[in-house]
C-alpha cells in the first residue's frame, strides 16, 4: 500500500529534491531498521539533540525516558520537536573532493509530542519500544511494575509531517572528470552483530535465545 | 594528555552522571570514529535535526554544505546549534523490560557556528572533512576549483561547551531479578565495510586503493 504524506513548507526537501520521499511505507521501513533516533528540542533558545531508543506503532513514534529527565519534562509540555533517524549505507568516493558523499537513508519528523497518559496505550508503547530493540523480547522479559511505570514517561509523535531522504548508487562526478585516473566508487557499510556476551551473573545453564545468538535486523 | 572541559549548566549530564565525561581526548575519539553528526538548529521556533558529514581539527568541528541551503544559511547567521554524534556499540538485554538499554558513546556540543571566511582555513577544513570519510583521500582526489569553493559554505564550531556520555558493560537489573531464568546480556554491534563497489564508469584497470579495498576505522 502506497500512502503519500503531503510535504509542508517545513518538510519539503529543497536540496537535491530527487532524493526525497514522502511515501509512508518508505518512511516506516527506515524507522523500523534503525535503533536510535536523534530528538531535537529547544530550551531557552538553545537546541538540544539527544540520541534515544524508540518504537513505532502504525503512524506513531514513541520514545520513553525517566519522568524526571529534563528532556522528558520539556517534551511533555507539547513543545515542537524534530525526530531524525539516519541509516548509513556507504562511503561515496568521487573523483572530485567536491562530490564526495555518503549513501544513507534518513527520516525527519516534525511536530509536537504528546504525553501518553492512557495506561493501555502506555503499555503497548513500551512493548513497541522493547520489541524495536529485539523482536518479541517483551514476552521473555520481566514486565514493568507499577512503580517502574510511574517512573517512566512515554511520549507519542504522529508521523504526519515527515519526509525521507535517500542517496544510493555510485558517485556523480562532473562529466570532464570521468577520464581522470582516480579510483572512484562506494565502500558499503553495514551494522553487524557479534556473538552475544552473557551477563556474568546469568542463571547457570541458560542458553542465549535465537534472537541473541544470531541477531539480524 | 588529559584535558578537562568545564561542564556548564547546559552540558552537565544530570541523568546517570556516572556515564558522563568532560575529557577532551574522550570526546575527540568519539568524534573521530563516527561518520555522521546530527546538527540541531531552530527556524521560527521549530527545531530541525539534520544528519551531515563533518571533520575535526584540534578543538574545532567543521561542517560544510551548499551555500544555498537553508541549513547553511541559517547556521551562518551565528545562531545557537547543537552537534551530536552517536556510536552504537550494543543492545543491552536485561531481565526486566525496564532495564533494557543500549551500549553507546555519544558527544553533545553546544554553541554558535562561525562561517569560515579565511580561504586557507576553509581549505584545511574541507581537507579535514574529506579525510574524515577516508584518511588521506584528499591527496588522491581532484581538489576543489574556485567555483566549487564559492558554492560551498564551511562552518566552524568550537568544542568548548561539550560533554560525552558513555554506557558500557552488562545489563544492570534489580537485585531480586538476578535469579530469574531469563537470558540477559549484550549483543555487540559494529559497523563493517564490505568489498568496494567500483564506479561503473571507472577508467579501465584502476585497482581500488588500500583504504577502499580493506576499509577500517
A140 belongs to a structural domain: yes
Distance of alpha carbon A132 from the chain centroid: 10
| pLDDT-based confidence at residue B7 (cuts at 50, 70, 90) | very high
Nearest to B40 among A49, A53, A202 (CB): A49
CB contacts, 8 Å: A194 with chain B: 187-190
B117 belongs to a structural domain: yes
Number of folded domains that form chain B: 1
Nearest to A84 among B49, B102, B191 (CB): B49
* Candidates A75, A104, A161, A183, partner chain B, best to mutate (most B CBs within 10 A): A183
A9 belongs to a structural domain: no
- Condensed to tens digits (0 to 9), the pLDDT of residues B148-203 reads 999 999 999 999 999 999 999 999 999 999 999 999 999 999 999 999 999 999 99
CA of B95 vs chain A CAs: smallest distance (Å): 5
- Condensed to tens digits (0 to 9), the pLDDT of residues A45-79 reads 999 999 999 999 999 999 999 888 888 888 888 88
Per-residue 3-state assignment (H helix, E strand, C coil) for chain A:
CCCECCCCCCCCCCCCHHHEECEHHHHHHHHHHCCEEEEEEEECCEEEEEEEECEEECCEEEEEEECCCHHHHHHHCCCEEEEEEEEEEEEEECCEHHHCEEEEEEEEEEEECEECCCHHHHHHHHHHHHHHHCCCCCCCCECCCHHHHHHEEEEEEECCEEEEEEECCCCCCCHHHCCCCCCCEEEEEEEEECCCEECCCCCCCCCCCHHHHCCCC
Task: Name the more confident of A1 and B133.
Answer: B133
Nearest to B134 among A81, A93, A198 (CB): A93
A154 beta partners? A64
The domain spanning residue A28 has which CATH number?
A: 2.30.110.10
A188 belongs to a structural domain: no
Whether A82 contacts B49, CB under 8 Å = yes
- pLDDT score, position A214: 82
| pLDDT-based confidence at residue A2 (cuts at 50, 70, 90) | low
Task: Tell how strand A185-193 and strand B185-193 pair up.
Answer: antiparallel
- pLDDT score, position A1: 52
CB of B198 less than 8 A from some CB of A = yes
Whether A24 contacts A4, CB under 8 Å = yes
d(CA A134, CA A136): 6
Domain that holds residue B151: 17-172
Q: How many Cβ pairs within 8 Å bridge chains A and B?
A: 297
- pLDDT score, position B32: 97
A137 belongs to a structural domain: yes
- Condensed to tens digits (0 to 9), the pLDDT of residues B100-147 reads 999 999 999 999 999 999 999 999 999 999 999 999 899 999 999 999
CB contacts, 8 Å: B38 with chain A: 38, 40, 49, 51, 84, 86
What is the ipTM for the molecules in this complex?
0.95
- pLDDT score, position A94: 98
B149 belongs to a structural domain: yes
C-alpha cell at B181: 531464568
Alpha helices, H only, B87-167: 119-133, 146-151
A114 belongs to a structural domain: yes
- pLDDT score, position B16: 85
Residue B37 in this model has a pLDDT that exceeds 60: yes
A154 belongs to a structural domain: yes
- pLDDT score, position B110: 97
Amino acid at each position: 500500500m502506497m500512502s503519500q504524506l503531503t510535504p509542508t513548507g517545513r518538510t519539503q526537501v529543497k536540496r537535491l529534491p530527487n532524493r526525497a520521499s514522502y511515501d509512508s511505507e518508505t518512511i516506516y521501513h527506515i524507522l523500523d531498521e534503525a535503533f536510535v533516533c536523534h530528538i531535537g528540542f529547544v530550551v531557552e533558545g538553545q537546541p538540544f539533540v539527544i540520541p534515544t531508543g524508540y518504537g513505532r506503532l502504525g503512524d506513531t513514534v514513541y520514545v520513553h525516558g525517566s519522568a524526571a529527565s529534563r528532556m522528558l519534562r520539556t517534551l511533555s509540555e507539547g513543545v515542537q520537536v524534530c525526530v531524525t533517524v539516519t541509516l548509513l549505507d556507504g562511503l561515496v568516493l568521487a573523483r572530485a573532493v567536491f562530490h564526495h558523499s555518503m549513501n544513507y537513508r534518513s527520516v525527519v519528523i516534525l511536530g509536537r509530542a504528546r504525553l501518553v497518559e492512557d495506561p493501555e496505550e502506555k503499555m503497548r508503547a513500551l512493548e513497541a519500544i522493547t520489541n524495536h530493540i529485539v523482536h518479541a523480547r517483551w514476552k521473555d522479559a520481566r514486565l514493568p511494575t507499577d512503580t517502574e511505570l510511574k517512573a517512566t514517561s512515554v511520549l507519542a509523535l504522529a508521523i504526519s509531517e515527515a519526509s525521507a531522504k535517500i542517496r544510493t548508487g555510485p558517485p556523480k562526478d562532473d562529466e570532464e572528470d570521468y577520464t581522470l585516473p582516480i579510483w572512484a566508487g562506494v565502500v558499503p557499510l553495514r551494522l553487524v552483530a557479534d556473538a552475544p556476551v552473557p551477563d556474568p551473573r546469568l542463571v547457570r545453564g541458560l542458553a542465549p535465545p535465537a534472537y541473541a545468538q544470531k541477531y539480524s535486523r
